[in-house]
């Protein structure tokens, strides 16, 4: 579609609105975003600790566990092996060095999270350069002013790219997910790489096709068909007949070839190594798809607006404002990367944040193209909304922390104590200092907005990204001990390990009864406790609830042939109880 096909463009912008955002600020935002909350904490259930468990199993067992993800003896036939491979390499390479500063377990935990820096780097670079390539095209350029003063093509493209990058950083739903040891950070990064590769094919079809093939193959090796299919479906629809990319469609054969080779290089040896694992992997992927269900659709409309905040309203606005340019590359490409994940989610039996995450990148890109179409008054209103929203969130974090430490305000302290029973409040002075510096940085950012009255269009995205990062920084500094206490299984795992050391006889096996995947992975990570599938094991670890035990409805309740040798739980958990049972052989 040519710009001459339309009377005007909805973008109205002057050169002063595209003034360059300092690169140091962008770098600082990225570094603080990814480092805050990444290290110096325990892995939490479920996806976070499961990913780490597959890495540690592969390191310990080698062989088939390096090819087929396992949690001890449990086949984890859900995702692909790519994130496990990268994590294993990182632990092998950096673990021994980190052991000079901490114990082997914590060294492995830290090393397993180093790849997140790479996934975040791929994500941010792909979003920035992909948006920059689209923003430089003739279709999205702002209306030429009568006496000049409109931005240059380069400045406009850079402004769009900066805004897209800040908007993906400001997306609430992926904040925690980008810091966990799971397949989600890698999957988001590979979708962003696929988006960049398609945009690259507009000018450099060969290199773009190669990058696209690598992105699709890596997505498949990361999360199988559930993760790769939405991206794979989006790609051919970007090459619509008559569109800008249509002449480059022949290069998709190279993309398809690279994808097939990458998939088969894993699948063939995996099939030869473990037909049971690959059979279950195939069943998991096939059975995850079904006809649309009411509860799935309801959950999408309920959860997606929160997950994609604040980008989704702007993404919708971009589609409306650029409706006459809907088939132009700068709208059509990100639109396809939004539409197909949404369609695929409608046909999934279970939908949650890993699936939602594929909506984040294209929503941020679309939202960036909405900004040049907004009137100045609307932009100012959004600025003040960001200031009020995140000022309130930072104040709430501080108020809750004061209540935790002092017991005032009484009602807030009571509500916190009910969720953290057994926790003894401590003050980490380094964490307190970092939180205070973060708060001062937010105050300085608000003061800059109030006194400088900047006209740059990226000012609102700066406030949103900065406010979210400061709130997150305060949570992972002031509240990290509480979060570890509530969500980590390190303590109960140590109790179980001690009980097994006391009650487990030589050569005696332990099997699990009702133990969830996250709990099983936690026991393996923290104390190398694995569970057998032998039916004649005389020791059983049972996961149940205090209510079931009190009512006598837990398995083996009231049996004279079973003795409870240990029971324990996380201090704050009111609904979960572990019991170590010994069965008396008849």
Query: Which runs of consecutive H residues, i.e. helices, occur in 153-240?
Result: 153-170, 184-200, 205-238
What's the mean pLDDT in 392-398?
96
Please say whether the beta carbons of 308 and 300 come within 8 A. no
Give the pLDDT score at 76. Answer: 93
pLDDT digits (tens, 9 = 90+) for 198-213: 999 999 999 999 999 9
What's the mean pLDDT in 355-384?
93
What's the mean pLDDT in 437-463?
92
**Integer Cα distance of 398 and 404 in angstroms:** 10
Q: How far does Cα 129 stand from its chain's mean position?
A: 21
Give the pLDDT score at 1. Answer: 47
Between the ranges 68-82, 211-225, 289-303, 561-575, where is the mean pLDDT highest? 211-225
Q: How far does Cα 242 stand from its chain's mean position?
A: 36
Q: What are the tokens at 127?
A: 């979003």
Extended strands (E) in 354-399 = none
What's the mean pLDDT in 259-273?
95
Please say whether the beta carbons of 159 and 167 come within 8 A. no
Please say whether the beta carbons of 467 and 393 come within 8 A. yes
**Integer Cα distance of 240 and 254 in angstroms:** 18
Backbone conformation region of residue 496, classed left if phi is above 0, alpha if psi is from -120 to 50, else beta:
alpha
- pLDDT category at 453 given cuts 50, 70, 90 is confident
**Integer Cα distance of 529 and 496 in angstroms:** 9
| 54 pLDDT higher than 90 | yes
| 158 pLDDT higher than 60 | yes
Q: Can you say whether the dihedral through the CA atoms of 450, 451, 454, 458 is positive or negative?
A: negative
What's the mean pLDDT in 126-147?
92
- Which of helix, strand or coil describes residue 74? strand
Nearest to 311 by CA among 123, 173, 131: 173
- pLDDT category at 268 given cuts 50, 70, 90 is very high
Please say whether the beta carbons of 42 and 180 come within 8 A. no
Please say whether the beta carbons of 81 and 266 come within 8 A. yes
Query: Which runs of consecutive H residues, i.e. helices, occur in 239-328?
Result: 252-273, 275-287, 294-307, 311-321
| 586 pLDDT higher than 80 | no
pLDDT digits (tens, 9 = 90+) for 529-554: 999 998 889 999 999 999 999 898 88
Give the rounded percent of residues in the chain with a pLDDT score beyond 70.
98
pLDDT digits (tens, 9 = 90+) for 400-410: 999 999 999 99
For residue 511, the surrounding DSSP H or E stretch is strand 510-513
**Integer Cα distance of 158 and 153 in angstroms:** 9
Nearest to 14 by CA among 139, 151, 140: 151
Give the pLDDT score at 287. Answer: 93
Please say whether the beta carbons of 67 and 270 come within 8 A. yes
Q: What are the tokens at 403?
A: 């209540």
3-state secondary structure 84-116: HHHHHHHHHHHHHHHCCCCCHHHHHHHHHHCHH
**Number of Cβ atoms within 10 Å of the Cβ of 378:** 12
Q: Which residues pair with 289 in a beta bridge?
A: 348
What's the mean pLDDT in 353-370?
97
Please say whether the beta carbons of 166 and 461 come within 8 A. yes
| 6 pLDDT higher than 60 | no
Where in the chain are the domains? 20-373, 376-487, 490-583
What's the mean pLDDT in 156-175?
96
Q: Between the CA atoms of 171, 173, 176 and 179, what dihedral angle is there, to the nearest 10 degrees?
A: -60
- pLDDT category at 520 given cuts 50, 70, 90 is very high
Between the ranges 18-22, 316-320, 505-509, 571-575, where is the mean pLDDT highest? 316-320
What's the mean pLDDT in 300-321?
95
Give all strands of the β-sheet with 510-513 in edge-to-edge order. 510-513, 539-544, 577-583, 562-568
Q: What are the tokens at 181?
A: 């040891």
| 28 pLDDT higher than 90 | yes
What's the mean pLDDT in 318-331?
95
pLDDT digits (tens, 9 = 90+) for 211-246: 999 999 999 999 999 999 999 999 999 999 999 999
Residues making up the chain, counted from first to last? 586
Give the pLDDT score at 394. Answer: 95
pLDDT digits (tens, 9 = 90+) for 456-488: 888 999 999 999 999 999 999 999 999 999 999
What's the mean pLDDT in 189-194?
98
């Amino acid at each position: 579609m040519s710009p001459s096909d339309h009377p005007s463009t909805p973008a109205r912008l002057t050169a002063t609105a595209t003034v360059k955002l300092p690169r140091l600020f962008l770098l600082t935002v990225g570094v603080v975003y990814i480092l805050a909350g990444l290290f110096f904490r325990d892995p939490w259930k479920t996806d976070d600790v499961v990913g780490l468990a597959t890495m540690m199993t592969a390191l310990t067992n080698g062989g088939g566990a390096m090819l087929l993800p396992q949690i001890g003896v449990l086949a984890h036939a859900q995702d692909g092996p790519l994130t496990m491979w990268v994590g294993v390499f990182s632990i092998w390479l950096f673990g021994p060095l980190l052991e000079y500063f901490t114990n082997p377990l914590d060294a492995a935990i830290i090393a397993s999270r180093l790849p997140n820096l790479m996934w975040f780097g791929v994500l941010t670079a792909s979003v920035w350069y992909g948006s920059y390539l689209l923003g430089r095209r003739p279709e999205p350029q702002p209306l030429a002013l009568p006496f000049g003063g409109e931005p240059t093509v380069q400045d406009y493209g850079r402004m769009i790219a900066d805004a897209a990058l800040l908007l993906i950083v400001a997306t609430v739903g992926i904040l925690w997910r980008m810091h966990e040891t799971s397949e989600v950070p890698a999957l988001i990064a590979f979708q962003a790489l696929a988006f960049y590769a398609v945009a690259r094919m507009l000018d450099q079809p060969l290199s773009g096709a190669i990058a696209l093939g690598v992105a699709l193959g890596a997505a498949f090796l990361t999360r199988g068909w559930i993760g790769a299919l939405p991206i794979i479906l989006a790609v051919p629809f970007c090459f619509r007949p008559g569109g800008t990319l249509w002449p480059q469609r022949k290069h998709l054969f190279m993309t398809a070839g690279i994808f097939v080779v990458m998939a088969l290089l894993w699948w063939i040896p995996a099939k030869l190594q473990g037909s049971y694992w690959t059979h279950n992997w195939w069943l998991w992927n096939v059975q995850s798809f079904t006809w649309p269900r009411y509860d799935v659709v309801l959950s999408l409309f309920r959860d997606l607006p929160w997950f994609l905040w604040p980008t989704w309203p702007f993404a919708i606005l971009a589609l409306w404002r650029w409706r006459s340019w809907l088939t132009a590359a700068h709208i059509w490409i990100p639109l396809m990367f939004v539409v197909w994940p949404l369609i695929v989610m409608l046909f999934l039996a279970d939908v949650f944040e890993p699936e939602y995450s594929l909506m984040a990148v294209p929503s941020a890109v679309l939202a960036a193209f909405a900004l040049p179409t907004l009137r100045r008054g609307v932009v100012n209103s959004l600025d003040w909304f960001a200031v009020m929203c995140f000022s309130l969130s930072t104040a709430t974090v501080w108020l809750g922390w004061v209540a935790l430490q002092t017991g005032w305000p009484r009602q807030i302290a009571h509500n916190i104590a009910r969720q953290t029973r057994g926790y003894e409040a401590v003050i980490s002075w380094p964490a307190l200092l970092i939180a205070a510096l973060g708060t001062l940085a937010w105050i300085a950012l608000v003061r800059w907005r109030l006194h400088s009255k900047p006209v740059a269009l990226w000012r609102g995205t700066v406030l949103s990204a900065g406010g979210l990062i400061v709130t997150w920084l305060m949570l992972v500094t002031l509240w990290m001990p509480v979060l570890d206490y509530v969500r980590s299984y390190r303590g109960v795992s140590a109790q179980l390990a001690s009980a097994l050391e006391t009650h487990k006889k030589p050569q005696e096996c332990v099997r699990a009864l009702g133990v969830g995947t996250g709990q099983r992975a936690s026991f393996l990570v923290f104390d190398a406790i694995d569970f057998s599938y032998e039916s004649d094991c005389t020791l059983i670890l049972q996961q149940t609830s205090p209510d079931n035990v009190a009512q006598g409805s837990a398995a083996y309740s009231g049996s004279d042939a079973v003795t409870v040798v240990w029971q324990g739980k996380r201090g704050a958990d009111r609904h979960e109880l572990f019991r170590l049972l010994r069965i008396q052989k008849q």
